[in-house]
Amino acid sequence: MKNSTPDPDILNRTGDNGWFYSDTVKDHFFNPRNFMRDESAYADAAMGMVGSPACGDAMKVWIRVDPATERIIDCKWKTFGCGSAIASTSMLSVMATENGGLTLDAARRLRPQDVTARLGGLPARKIHCSVLGDKALRAAVNDWYRRAGQLEKVEAEAGRVVDVLTQVTDQDIEHAVLDGADTLEKLQAKLKVGIGNPACLPEVEQLLRFYTEKYFGKQ
């Protein structure tokens, strides 16, 4: 058997044989909460979807809401992706429904950093796995408002959508550049942008150059 270099996403920083992932991440991966097992039973529930199996991660989120309080009383999900994506969506569903459930307004304010913090952190190369979940949840909130006839409360994602599969916006790309994504490879590692939808790559690369020059000067 030939020697292989351990994957730093699997092993921890101490160099021993333990997993890099926190115990909370492992728990939600091996024992996912609120996983959708029967979509037919939720045909009447609001649903949001983001991503595509073609780009490696896709998430669907279903919610049921108490119309009197506009709190999420049930949240189910399906995720096609890595262990971090599964754990992130599982934790997201817990956060959406715990303590009487989030209001729809609070659910919209939930961000990947909140999910990552509750998981006890994720490897840097896996942070993108927590990004799609909050977008899918916001899409489900929008779907609930549409079904309820409250169209004035439907909100588009901030910024202009660049990749329709992942719903990545120009603002997402700007923030990723500020966070150190100065190459297309780094940008795709963070956002999965353009992996399943290569037609958007010319615009993605143009935005990458624009924001890199804007904040860091010509390279």
Kindly list the catalytic residues: 55, 129
Of 187, 182, 185, 152, the C-alpha closest to 169 is 187
Cα separation values, 50 from 148, 171, 206, Å = 21, 17, 23
CA quadruple 106, 112, 114, 118: dihedral positive or negative?
A: positive
